[in-house]
Amino acid sequence: MKKELYLFIIWHNARFMEKHIVNDIKKKFEIFQIYDVTWSPQFFGDNLSRFYGKKLPKSCKKEKEIGNGSFLVVLVYDRNPQFSEGKNIAVITAKHAYRQMVGSNLVHASDNLDETQENLLFLLGKNLKEIEKEESFTIPKKIETDIAGVKPWSNTDEALNAVRLVPFTKITAYKGSYLIHSRHADIVRRILNASSHFRLPGRHKYFIKVGKSKQPIYIRKVS
């Protein structure tokens, strides 16, 4: 079976065990890249909500739990992935072990390739194909960034270019705006940070913040 790319996140409040976790990851997987990521403190909660999407309940105090300081993202290859109920066994086993090590849910991992793809789009603004063409590095690369769209888009092209990275997505002109056809409509909506929508036959109309104005955008889920 072909090797597959996964990622672990060691959130800020777990970094006191960072060396132990990374050393254990080295024993179980092939480390491809490591990032030391800093989100703007004032936008940390917004970044976190967009990263987790529906998986993060509104009443959840996740930001307080994990800390809003810098965090480590470790991209790894599993050379012999094995699965149970659609989840990579080695990855979820390691994730649970690291959570026990730090005493809380302070370590995230992508359980399958679809989640890896989604996590990369939000964390790094790149898709799986782009990342795998890059060189490997194991000395953490420091990046200070926020998830694209957490601040208003500079222009519509900037927003659409972020969406074009989503696999199985097509953009066409529509009603003086754009219609986005995608298998991953929810991911597209989250990347655009789109809100205030109403349903039309076969599609949804949303608004995105572009500069100081709101622009309509249409999203259609396709199979």
**Whole-number pLDDT of residue 198:** 76
Yes or no: say if 168 and 174 are a contact pair by the CB < 8 Å rule.
no
Print pLDDT tens along the chain (223 aa): 789 999 999 999 999 999 999 999 999 999 999 999 999 999 999 999 889 986 666 656 889 999 999 999 999 999 999 999 999 999 999 999 999 999 899 999 999 999 999 999 999 999 999 999 999 999 999 999 999 988 899 999 999 999 999 999 999 999 899 999 999 999 999 999 998 777 777 789 999 999 999 999 999 999 8
Residues forming a β-bridge with 43:
none
**Whole-number pLDDT of residue 58:** 62
**Number of neighbouring beta carbons within 10 Å of residue 169:** 20
**Whole-number pLDDT of residue 195:** 86
Nearest to 108 by CA among 129, 87, 92, 123: 92
Nearest to 210 by CA among 136, 151, 169: 151
Q: Which domains does the chain have, with CATH numbers?
A: 4-144 (3.30.70.141), 156-221 (no CATH)
Is the pTM value of this prediction over 0.75? yes
**Whole-number pLDDT of residue 197:** 75
Q: How far apart are CA 107 and CA 93, in angstroms?
A: 12
Yes or no: say if 210 and 170 are a contact pair by the CB < 8 Å rule.
no
**Whole-number pLDDT of residue 203:** 82
Nearest to 202 by CA among 175, 172, 181: 181
**Whole-number pLDDT of residue 223:** 87
**Whole-number pLDDT of residue 116:** 97
